[in-house]
Structure 1
Amino acid sequence: MGVQEEELHQRGAGKSTPHACLVENTTWDLISDIEKLKEHLEIPEWQVFGESRGSTLALAYGQSQHDKVTGIVLRGIFLLRKKEIDWFYEGGAAAIYPDAWEPFRDLIPENERDCFVGAYKKRLNSDDQEIQDRLAWPWP
């Protein structure tokens, strides 16, 4: 029996277009996309792999489509819990990788650095495409 591998770039990420778009980009929208891809490829059941944010998506997909998933492989699990988000975006990662954190940090004025998620959200959802583009590139 052969193995067929399919790679999905979720909405707003990777080669997906429009890039960095957050419109209709919820976990449930993404699960629907995965299921549509599976149906389009005529795959009755499959194993699912997820890495980082994709691990959250793989688990949610596996729960909602459990009769179509034969296994789940997770790597670099990031479940988007508040504790994980706070550690990753509000300073914990900066202590381990200060050089990688610097470009991300420096795009936000010092007086707004107490909440990077909020500061980036404000700018990534602004009407100014130039600001959106400038701030989307360093997003970890």
Structure 2
Amino acid sequence: MKIAYQSGYLPVSGGHEVYWERHGREGEQPVFFLHGGPGGCSSHDHLAFFDLEHFDIVLFDQRGGGRSRPHGERQNNDTARVVEDIEALRQHFDFAQISLLGVSWGSWLALQYARWATSRVNRMVLASLFVPCPQHVATYHQALTRYLHTQESTSFEQLCLDLGRPCQALAQRAAMAWARAGLRLNRQYLDPVALERFIDAAALRAIAVELHYHQAGYFFTEQDQALPLSTPCQVIQGIDDPIGLASLRWLRQRIPLSCRLLRAGHDTFSPVLLNAIRQSLMPIQGTQ
């Protein structure tokens, strides 16, 4: 287990506290890691993306997720507020500029922050893209409801009701169905026994946050359709990731970017994607 050289909680708006850790070497190029989700969390496994000798790495759990408090809180929890939290952390550490590594949902947060605070971003590396425009969300929702109906014998509406019920067994069964659907649609696999161990009370709260975002269309706005950006951006994308490829096509129409397409799915821990992410971060070294 890697030990953070600093860690703590940062009070932010709406009664939330964001948990953060710093790893690597103080004084080197600061890089913020933006994890997937919504409702997810960072972990020390994510440090595998970095050369710890050459970066000052900030891991943090987005509001409502991981060790951030209160866990699972959906009140005052939306995309704009998470973007504000990134800026609050940058100011807390007194970084003039930061670089961003965003994976999956975190790739969208990186884009949002770079648009909001352009002068504060050195560059971005985005992997396994997720752009929650209405068309993508509708396509995903249709596939999700079809899977739930044919494979889980339930509906999206019923699943949402069951997740909110006080009966732990019923809520856990609904959470298992939701998790299996997400894995299937992202072409990922998790051993059923491991998945069952994963679905505990904390996972139920995390799924509630994810559903909160999903039902709100991930808080995508009309202004997001344009997404004017000039920040240097490199994309690492698997070709066996339909949502990621659709997101890449959307993004290419709006901003300049370089892209590596690789034979992989959505899982950024797959060796081919992980190695590509590490390589893509290397040019940042020595940049202050």
Scaled by the length of structure 2, what TM-score is found? 0.36
1:2-35, Cα deviation, whole Å (9 max, x unpaired): 4201112111223333333221111111011111
Identity %: 23
Q: Which residue of 1 aligns with 2:280?
A: none
Q: Residue type of the partner of 1:75? A: A
Q: Residue type of the partner of 1:19? A: H
Distance (whole Å) between structure 1 residues aligned to residue 143 and residue 100 of structure 2: 31
Q: Which residue of 2 aligns with 1:37?
A: 89
- Counterpart contact for 1:31–1:57, Cα < 8 Å: yes
Unaligned runs of 5+ in 2: 1-27, 29-53, 183-288
Bigger shift: residues 77-86 or 21-30 = 77-86
Q: Residue type of the partner of 1:6? A: V
Q: Residue type of the partner of 1:65? A: A
More strand by share: 2
Matched, 1:23 2:75: yes
Q: Which residue of 2 aligns with 1:70?
A: 122
Compare relative contact order (CA 8 Å, sep 6+) and give the higher one, 1 or 2.
2
1:39-69, Cα deviation, whole Å (9 max, x unpaired): 1122111101111111111100000000100
1:41-98, Cα deviation, whole Å (9 max, x unpaired): 2211110111111111110000000010011111111111223223334326977xxx
Unaligned runs of 5+ in 1: 96-100
Distance (whole Å) between structure 1 residues aligned to residue 106 and residue 139 of structure 2: 18
SS at match of 1:44: coil
Matched, 1:11 2:63: yes
Distance (whole Å) between structure 2 residues aligned to residue 130 and residue 21 of structure 1: 19
Distance (whole Å) between structure 1 residues aligned to residue 137 and residue 102 of structure 2: 18
SS at match of 2:60: coil
Q: Which residue of 1 aligns with 2:281?
A: none
Highest CA radius of gyration, 1 or 2?
A: 2
Distance (whole Å) between structure 2 residues aligned to residue 78 and residue 51 of structure 1: 8
Q: Which residue of 2 aligns with 1:60?
A: 112
Scaled by the length of structure 1, what TM-score is found? 0.68
- Counterpart contact for 1:20–1:136, Cα < 8 Å: no
